[in-house]
Structure 1
Amino acid sequence: MKYDVIIAGGGASGMTAAITAARRGCSVLVLERMDRPGKKILATGNGRCNLTNSYLDQDCYRGEKPGFPYSMLEVFGAAETLDFFQSMGMLTTDLGGYYYPASMQASTVVDTLTGKMRQLGVHIKTGTEVKKIQKIKDTFHVTCGTEKYQGRNVILAAGGMAQEKLGSNGSGYALAKAVGHTVTDVFPALVALESEEKFFQHLAGVRNVSALSVYVNGQKTAEQTGEVQFAKYGISGIPVFQVSRYAIDALRKKKKVEVILNLMPEQFTLKELMDYFRKVGYYKTAEEFLQGFLNKKLAFTVLSRLKIRPEKSAADLTQKELRQIRSMIQKFPVPVSGYKGFDMAQVTAGGVSVREVIEGTLESKIHRGLYFAGELLDVDGTCGGYNLQWAFTSGYIAGNQIEAENQ
C-alpha cells in the first residue's frame, strides 16, 4: 500500500499532522519509535500539560532565524489550538493565560489525540524506528529494519534530543542529513545551570524570587524574574530555564558566563529597610538581623561570602559592611561553569535549518513532498506552552499540505 503521507514520529506534532491530513481524506501512517505515541506530552507541565499561552511576542521563540514561526502561528495559534481540541471533545482551562486540559491531566491530551487518530483510520505502528528515507521518482521509500513502507509524502516529526527516555534520541537529525539537509548545532535548552561555587552545598533546597541577568564576557545578554531554585550543583527554576539557552550557547563557545541575582527585586528601598531593621534589631547578631528579610540560608551565605562573622552584633556592623551586604543582596554573583544535559532539558536548541524549509508550508526546499514539524526544526520556545504550541502549529501546517491521491 502506498500512503498519501508517512509520518516519522508520534509526538505532539506528528499526531497533529496525522489528524489534519486524515481529515482531508488522506491515508496516513504514523511510525513511532516508543511503545506508545505521545510519551513526552505526559511529562509536560508536571503532568498537567501546559498546551499553549495567550501571550505571544517576538521573544517567545529562538533559533538561527527567530522570526520563522510567527507567520504560521498567525494561521494556527493559541485560539486555533483550543478550537482543535474542542473539536475532538476536550475542554481547556485558562490559568492566567496558560492553557491546560480541563481535567488538568496530560494523559487527557494524549488520549484525545490518539483516539481521534483511530477514529479517522490513521495507521499507527509503535516500536518502529525509521532508519532510512529514500525518494525514487515520486515515491518515498521508508525503511524500518526489515519493514518497508511507501508514501507520496513524508513528514519528519521525530523530535529533538531532550529526554531520550521519552522518545527524543536525535534520530531525526540523521534522517534529515541523509536526505541532504543541514542540521545546526544542537544543545540542551530550558535546563538548569551549574556552578562550582562551594556555597551551593549549603543553599540546596532554597527557593527565592529573584531578578537574574546573564552576563557573557561582561555584557548583559538576557534577564528574567521569578522563583529561582538553589541546588547543590547551581541554580534551577523557570527563570533560569528561560535564560539557559544564552548561557549554554556562550559556554559552548568558551566564553565567560556569570549570572547576577537580585535576591530582593521588589525592595527598591533596601538601604532604608536595612537601616530601620538594624535600628529596631540592634540586639541581634548580623545573621539574625538579615533573617528579618532574607532566607536563613541565604543570609548566612551573604555574610560568609563577604567574610563577615555571622555572630557579629548588628549594632557593630560598619557602614562599609552594610553597603557590602546591600550590594551582595542586589548583585549576588553566580559564576556558571556548566549545565545539565539533554536528559534533564525540556527542549533542544538547534536542529534542521529552517533556511532550507519553506516558511508557511514547512516543505523541504530540497525534496518536494518532504515536510518537517516540531522540535526537529531549529525552533525552540520559552517556558509556558510555547514548545507544544509550535508542535501543534507545525503539525497542522505540514499536515494541511497533504492532498489525497484521488483528489
Structure 2
Amino acid sequence: MKYDVIIAGGGASGMTAAITAAGRGCSVLVLERMEKLGKKILATGNGRCNLTNSFLDQDCYRGEKPGFPYSMLEQFGVPETLDFFQSMGMLTTDLDGYYYPASMQASTVVDTLAGKIKSLDIDVKTEALVEEIKKIKDTFYIKSGKDQYQGRNVILAAGGMAQEKLGSNGSGYGLAKSLGHTVTDLFPALVALESGEPFFKYLAGVRNGSSLSVYVNGQKKVSQEGEVQFTKYGISGIPVFQVSRYAIDALRKKKKVEIILNLMPEQITLKEMMEYFRKVGSYKTAEEFLQGFMNKKLAFTVLNRLKIRPETSVKELGQKELRQIRTMIQKFTVPISGYKGFDMAQVTAGGVSVKEVMEGTLESKIHRGLYFTGEILDVDGTCGGYNLQWAFTSGYIAGNQIKAGNQ
C-alpha cells in the first residue's frame, strides 16, 4: 500500500498533522519510536500541559530566522488551537493567558489526540524507528526495522534532542541530512545554567524573586524577571530558562558570560529602607539586620562575598559597607561556566535550516512532498506554551498540504 503521507514521529506535531491530513480524506501512517504516542507531552507544564499562550511578540521564538513561524501562527494560532481541541471534545482553561486542559492533566491532551487518531482509522506503528528515507521519482520509501513503507508524501516530525527518554533522540536530523538538508548547530535551550562559585552548595534550595540580565563580554544582551532557583551547581527556574539560549550560545563561542541578579527588584527605595532598619535594629548583628528583609542564606552569602563578618554589630557598619551591601543585593554577579545537557533541557535550539523550507507550507525546497514540523526545525520558543503551539501550528500547516491520492 502506498500511503498519501507517512509521518515520522507521533508527538504533538505528528499527531496534529495526522489528524489534519486524515480529515482531508488522506491515507495516513504514523511511525513512532516510543511504545506509545505523545509521551513527551505528558511531561509538559509539570504534568499539566501548558498548550499555548495568548501573549505573542517578536521575542517568543528564536532561531536562525526568528520571524519564520509568525505568518503560520496567523493561519493557525491560539484561537484555532483552542477550537481544534474543542472540536475533539476537550475543554481548555485560561490562567492569565496561559492555556491548559480544563482537567489540568497532560494525559487529557494525549488521550484526546490519540482518541481522534483511532477514530479516523489512521495506521499507527509504535516502537518503529525510522532508519532510512529514500525518494525515487514520486515515491518515498521508508525503512523501519524489517519493514518498508511507501508514501507519496513524508512529514518529518521526529522531534529534537531534548529528553531522549521521552522520545527525542535526534534521529530525525540524520534523516534530514540524508535527504540533502542542512542542520544548524544544536544545543540545549530552556535549561539550567552552571557556575563554579562555591557558595552555590550553601544556597541550594533557595528560591528568590529576582530580575536578571545576561552579560556577554561585558555587554548586556537580555533581561528577565521571576523566581530564580539556586541549586548546588548554579541557577535554575523559568527566568533562567528564558535567557539560557543566549548564555549557552555565547559560551559555545568561548565568550565570557555573567548573569547579574537584582535580589530585590521591587524594592526601589532600598537605601532608605536599609537606613531605617539599621536605625530601629541597632541592637542587631549584620547578619540579623539583613535577615530582616531577605532570605537567611542569601543574607549570609552577601556578607561572606563582601568579607563582612556576620556577627559584626550593625552599628559598626559604615556608609561604605552599607553601599557595598546594597550594590551586592542589586548586582549579585554570577559567572556562568556551563549548562545542563539535553537530558534536562525542555527544547533543542537549532535544527533543520528554515532557509531550505517553504514558509507557509513547510515543504522542503529540495524534495517535493517532504515536510518538516515541530522541534526538528530551527525554531525554538520561550517557556509558556510556545513550543507546543509551534508543534500544533506546524503540524496543522503540513497536514493541510497533503492531498488524497484520488484528488
Following TM superposition, by how much is the alpha carbon of 1:295 offset from its aligned partner in structure 2, in angstroms?
0.4
The CA deviation string for residues 258-306 of structure 1, in whole angstroms up to 9 with x for no partner, is 0000000000110000000000000000000001111000000000000
Letter in 1 for 2:232: K
Measure the CA separation in 2 of the matches of 1:282 and 1:206: 27
Letter in 2 for 1:329: I
Letter in 2 for 1:99: Y
SS in 2 for 1:43: helix
For residue 71 of structure 2, what is the aligned residue in structure 1?
Answer: 71
Letter in 1 for 2:79: A
What is the correspondence of 1:5-404 to structure 2 with a 5 Å cutoff? 5-404=5-404
Letter in 2 for 1:48: R
User: Where in structure 1 do 4 or more consecutive aligned residues deviate above 4 Å?
Assistant: none
Following TM superposition, by how much is the alpha carbon of 1:145 offset from its aligned partner in structure 2, in angstroms?
1.6
Measure the CA separation in 2 of the matches of 1:120 and 1:219: 54
TM-score normalized by the length of structure 1: 1.00
Measure the CA separation in 1 of the matches of 2:104 and 2:239: 23
Which segments of 5 or more consecutive residues in structure 2 lack a partner in the other structure?
Answer: none
Measure the CA separation in 2 of the matches of 1:190 and 1:139: 38
Letter in 1 for 2:406: N
Measure the CA separation in 2 of the matches of 1:220 and 1:350: 23
CA RMSD in angstroms, aligned pairs only: 0.3
Measure the CA separation in 2 of the matches of 1:219 and 1:16: 42
Measure the CA separation in 2 of the matches of 1:80 and 1:217: 43
Letter in 2 for 1:106: A
Letter in 2 for 1:298: L
Letter in 2 for 1:44: T
Measure the CA separation in 2 of the matches of 1:201 and 1:59: 33
Measure the CA separation in 2 of the matches of 1:186 and 1:400: 28
The CA deviation string for residues 40-71 of structure 1, in whole angstroms up to 9 with x for no partner, is 00000000000000000000000000000000
Following TM superposition, by how much is the alpha carbon of 1:249 offset from its aligned partner in structure 2, in angstroms?
0.3
Letter in 1 for 2:45: G
Measure the CA separation in 1 of the matches of 2:393 and 2:23: 16
Measure the CA separation in 2 of the matches of 1:392 and 1:124: 19
Measure the CA separation in 2 of the matches of 1:169 and 1:100: 27
TM-score normalized by the length of structure 2: 1.00
Letter in 2 for 1:232: K
Measure the CA separation in 2 of the matches of 1:230 and 1:72: 38
Letter in 2 for 1:287: E
Letter in 1 for 2:331: K
Measure the CA separation in 2 of the matches of 1:252 and 1:365: 30
The CA deviation string for residues 227-272 of structure 1, in whole angstroms up to 9 with x for no partner, is 0000000000000000000000000000000000000000011000
Measure the CA separation in 1 of the matches of 2:64 and 2:295: 40
Letter in 1 for 2:296: K
Measure the CA separation in 2 of the matches of 1:148 and 1:261: 55
SS in 1 for 2:320: helix
Measure the CA separation in 2 of the matches of 1:282 and 1:235: 34
Following TM superposition, by how much is the alpha carbon of 1:104 offset from its aligned partner in structure 2, in angstroms?
0.3
The CA deviation string for residues 172-230 of structure 1, in whole angstroms up to 9 with x for no partner, is 00000000000000000000000000000110000000000000000011110000000
Measure the CA separation in 1 of the matches of 2:38 and 2:221: 35
Letter in 2 for 1:376: I
Measure the CA separation in 1 of the matches of 2:83 and 2:363: 25
Which segments of 5 or more consecutive residues in structure 1 lack a partner in the other structure?
Answer: none
SS in 1 for 2:18: helix
Measure the CA separation in 2 of the matches of 1:299 and 1:199: 12
Letter in 2 for 1:96: D
Measure the CA separation in 2 of the matches of 1:362 and 1:292: 56
SS in 2 for 1:266: coil
Measure the CA separation in 2 of the matches of 1:89 and 1:103: 12
Letter in 1 for 2:20: T
Letter in 1 for 2:266: E
Following TM superposition, by how much is the alpha carbon of 1:146 offset from its aligned partner in structure 2, in angstroms?
1.1
Count of residue pairs the alignment pairs up: 407
Measure the CA separation in 2 of the matches of 1:139 and 1:202: 60
Measure the CA separation in 1 of the matches of 2:222 and 2:33: 37
Measure the CA separation in 2 of the matches of 1:147 and 1:216: 50
Measure the CA separation in 1 of the matches of 2:120 and 2:57: 35
Measure the CA separation in 1 of the matches of 2:20 and 2:221: 39
SS in 2 for 1:29: strand
Letter in 1 for 2:360: G
